[in-house]
Amino acid sequence: MTPIGDEIPSGIIEGKLDGLIDAALQISSQRREILTRMRSALQKGDDLAALKYARELCGLAEQRKGKIKGDGMSKNQPTVRKSATPDAA
């Protein structure tokens, strides 16, 4: 087995690395901008905007209106009850 440098001309490797570095710098710049907006929203006390920016930073899709209400704890969700007898293990 030969090292990758022997199989691929160095100019191609450098070109790919340049493209990768450019992409990483662009992503970093975008994330820094979102983080700045999130920090500003938190300082203003705008929790919903801050949550939107946090979701964007984490890569979560924006939730549709009406899907998120209160603290997320629905009164219609089933409750978990402990059994009167311990589990046999």
DSSP string, 43-89: HHT-HHHHHHHHHHHHTPPPPPTTT--TTS--TTSPPP---SSPPP-
Q: For residue 74, is pLDDT > 50?
A: no
**Per-residue confidence band for 73, with pLDDT thresholds at 50, 70 and 90:** very low
What pLDDT does residue 40 have?
97
Question: Residues 39-69: pLDDT tens digits?
Answer: 999 999 999 999 999 999 998 866 655 554 4
Average pLDDT, the chain: 74
What percentage of the chain exceeds 70 in pLDDT?
55
Contact by Cβ (8 Å): 33, 56: no
Per domain, the residue ranges of the chain are 8-58
What pLDDT does residue 65 have?
57
